[in-house]
Structure 1
């Protein structure tokens, strides 16, 4: 399409609207920098609301010192152009800021700028993309999305809804959890992993062969501490696909829902995990249901919802086909699972076979997380006192759990025990 003449042109004359002058001055300086540094003028494009993926990919490239992206200049001289980062290894490092720098991708003749805009009524940031032509821009976007998908497969991408919008960060999978270490009843574990494998193996060939829509949704529910998170981590470590972990908060809105589904659709096939799905705010539920029902919004997405309180879930989520196909209860471990877990933890270094079996029986009704605490308490008691009082350890744990659930922290007897 031929480029048309603009009705209003930017000049240094400040008689034009002051807000436009302030805005256009910054943009014009970027255009001048680009022409000066690369020797040609690039066209300005509106970045749109779904451009976050491009900036996330650029952020990864900066972290990895990718030579395909270079900084031509910062925009404002007295606005920071570098950011201090802190790693899980507790090391500090400095990288260029996404904001206030002009980034250029010479391979594509494309530049990207997240620029602070200062006006008298508010300050904000806006994203700009400059490209030689439409074709180079489209090629750039497609390749950046492909790069982002590859990058996301190096860990779990966590989306958190905040009052400033959706915040993203990447978490490395520091410990692979083999499927055999997931403590669930065998038929549930078989069903879930079989569905996962068929979804991601051979590009969903199973779904095409049997004319099944290429999307899947499962809901994991049950008391906390029984392995829902462990199951998700095991799935994440065993599939070659991006994993997005979405944390719903009171700030979840129709806008954040739209942004998240737009992002994950581009990354498909992939897994979207929604933690504590019952906490979806009432005012956002309609938008969420609409996103689940969209014709293409779930294509290629394996959706996993988790909840500790299934009774609080909107019935519309699970009473309509195409939202969640199956619901699995993650129950308290039975005797065989308690025996297996405690044995794997190494509890037999402290107990003979008779006392071990007695402990397994006494811990009936405890969760996996509580069994872990039983192991910790026994190890501490053995380390400092050697004689192990199984009855007292289990009783104290059950009492602590009862008071936590009922929020009964004010009795004099218990205050003396905890030392407050």
Structure 2
């Protein structure tokens, strides 16, 4: 039998684990890359605290400011350059582009998860770290701004970028699905509106503009009278009679004068309609003096949310400087407590089917537009005949008379027997009259928008940079706006009242891709 070894006999265990670890480790160029990767792969409790403490350890001569919802990388006044590109971690997304942009493929977008950057702003230099990590159930983003010196310059940069990000840049605030977005497309559409294209009686237009723009000039008068500086206007009437184009002209004018238009599409929200109303009125009070647009008021306000809406409209909270404009096709569907009480909506404008005078104004408007077209004969006698034969036509029907006529005439090919403008337009009036007689009361025209689109070719934006992105020294995007809601623009608005990692926050990759393509740059977000 082999002798038993004394359990108390000393012995040494030799391993090569440390050597193997050192041999297999590849040193990164960035001092935080390895510690962050190690920590991000292990069990931890507070990654934000770890990041701050580790950076103070790695950069003992720098102040460290941690922040989350100001996107320094998209701030156009800051110049950004990656410090060590090989250590950057990102996820690539493919985004197809619209055919009208003249590109047949798409773009690759990079969602940044770890990166460090040199940032220059004002007279200061900074180091910026951007990290994204799983905290709880959702991805979170944290940023650290380092400056060799006191933290005041870093805080000033965060403030400046946050203010720029929250401001409007050829955009309009739009509230939909529980979120405020900054919408550039709507701003572009609004810029096309012109009061000269709003064919209404002069007295009507003058009074409407006076009630809107005069409100913002009357703050002192309201205060002298000791009454709240607020006003409500309802624009009502059957569809197709100028409410929308008048609203666009109002939004354009208010925006030009520095009074933000806020457009509400819906009160549907993950917070419920009451929660959405709180967000809407909080933003309106923050930006006042401003104009709050509630289109299709009878659809937005219902039996379940009416009381809460009325409380927001004229409750105990101040709405000074707030002009609320609502539109509706059915004034009788709105509760009298909302439409007839002066302190709520004290002015009403009816957009009814045009009378003879307004039809004449509209026909003369088209006469002016077509006067230089040598292929069209449009004498006053024909204009009078059109006015007489279009009684009970809405402005939408009147527009379709001219648009459909021009589309038909544009479709005549060389060699065809071209019909006279007068014959074509009379035929269109007859067809639309028949359609009008067959439709129920209050029904609007279905073909107007199709006719407009047929007559207007989409603009060629191929290779044209977005004017808002010109001369901007930015390549990457970061911050809480990584997970921006659907439809938001670059430098998106932080979601009010939202905690980090909310599951309803969504990212609009297409908006980023289009902006990147238009500016000829690559984007990380």
TM-score of the superposition, structure 2-length normalised? 0.57
Rounded Cα–Cα distance in structure 1 between residues aligned with 2:48 and 2:275? 28
Which among 358, 369, 374 is matched to residue 385 of structure 2? Answer: 358
Rounded Cα–Cα distance in structure 2 between residues aligned with 1:210 and 1:100? 58
Equivalence for 2:266: 248
Equivalence for 1:238: 253
Do the aligned partners of 1:159 and 1:169 also contact (CA within 8 Å) in 2?
Answer: no
Which among 295, 298, 314 is matched to residue 275 of structure 1? Answer: 295
> Displacement of 1:218 after TM fit?
0.5
Equivalence for 1:413: none
Deviation per CA, 1:380-406, whole angstroms, max 9, x where unpaired?
A: 444544141555422322443455647
3-state DSSP of counterpart to 2:176: strand
Rounded Cα–Cα distance in structure 1 between residues aligned with 2:78 and 2:352? 51
Which among 233, 238, 242 is matched to residue 227 of structure 1? Answer: 242
> Displacement of 1:212 after TM fit?
3.6
Rounded Cα–Cα distance in structure 1 between residues aligned with 2:345 and 2:129? 40
Choose between structure 1 and 2 for higher RCO, CA contacts under 8 A separated by at least 6 residues.
Answer: 2
Instruction: Evaluate the alpha carbon distance shift between residue 140 and residue 185 of structure 1 in structure 2; reply closer, same or farther with a 3 A threshold.
Output: farther
Instruction: Evaluate the alpha carbon distance shift between residue 102 and residue 272 of structure 1 in structure 2; reply closer, same or farther with a 3 A threshold.
Output: farther
Aligned residue runs from structure 1 range 47-126, under 5 A: 58=71, 62=74, 65-67=76-78, 77-79=89-91, 118=134, 122-123=137-138
Equivalence for 1:194: 210
- Whether 1:205 and 2:212 are equivalent positions in the alignment is no
Aligned residue runs from structure 1 range 288-327, under 5 A: 288-327=309-348
> Displacement of 1:34 after TM fit?
8.2
Instruction: Evaluate the alpha carbon distance shift between residue 73 and residue 197 of structure 1 in structure 2; reply closer, same or farther with a 3 A threshold.
Output: farther
Instruction: Evaluate the alpha carbon distance shift between residue 285 and residue 140 of structure 1 in structure 2; reply closer, same or farther with a 3 A threshold.
Output: farther
TM-score of the superposition, structure 1-length normalised? 0.69
- Whether 1:170 and 2:184 are equivalent positions in the alignment is yes
Equivalence for 1:7: none
Equivalence for 1:25: 47
Equivalence for 1:284: 305
Equivalence for 2:479: none
Instruction: Evaluate the alpha carbon distance shift between residue 285 and residue 266 of structure 1 in structure 2; reply closer, same or farther with a 3 A threshold.
Output: same
The number of residues matched between the two structures is 376
Rounded Cα–Cα distance in structure 2 between residues aligned with 1:227 and 1:99? 49
Aligned residue runs from structure 1 range 178-189, under 5 A: 178-189=194-205
Rounded Cα–Cα distance in structure 2 between residues aligned with 1:379 and 1:334? 24
Instruction: Evaluate the alpha carbon distance shift between residue 139 and residue 41 of structure 1 in structure 2; reply closer, same or farther with a 3 A threshold.
Output: closer
Rounded Cα–Cα distance in structure 2 between residues aligned with 1:276 and 1:391? 34
Do the aligned partners of 1:374 and 1:394 also contact (CA within 8 Å) in 2?
Answer: yes
- Whether 1:396 and 2:431 are equivalent positions in the alignment is yes
Rounded Cα–Cα distance in structure 1 between residues aligned with 2:324 and 2:389? 37
Instruction: Evaluate the alpha carbon distance shift between residue 32 and residue 134 of structure 1 in structure 2; reply closer, same or farther with a 3 A threshold.
Output: closer
Deviation per CA, 1:200-223, whole angstroms, max 9, x where unpaired?
A: 34x733433444422111010111
Gaps of 5+ in 2: 1-37, 413-417, 444-525
Do the aligned partners of 1:81 and 1:101 also contact (CA within 8 Å) in 2?
Answer: no
Equivalence for 2:364: 343
> Displacement of 1:185 after TM fit?
3.2
Instruction: Evaluate the alpha carbon distance shift between residue 89 and residue 118 of structure 1 in structure 2; reply closer, same or farther with a 3 A threshold.
Output: same
> Displacement of 1:375 after TM fit?
0.4
Greater shift, 77-86 or 341-350, is seen at: 77-86
> Displacement of 1:305 after TM fit?
0.7
| Superposition RMSD in Å | 4.8
> Greater Rg, structure 1 or structure 2?
2
Equivalence for 2:285: 265
> Displacement of 1:329 after TM fit?
1.0
Do the aligned partners of 2:63 and 2:151 also contact (CA within 8 Å) in 1?
Answer: no
Rounded Cα–Cα distance in structure 2 between residues aligned with 1:335 and 1:401? 18
Rounded Cα–Cα distance in structure 2 between residues aligned with 1:119 and 1:70? 28
Deviation per CA, 1:151-192, whole angstroms, max 9, x where unpaired?
A: 437343322226xx4544233335443434322233332222
Which among 350, 354, 357 is matched to residue 333 of structure 1? Answer: 354
> Displacement of 1:126 after TM fit?
7.4
Greater shift, 64-73 or 255-264, is seen at: 64-73
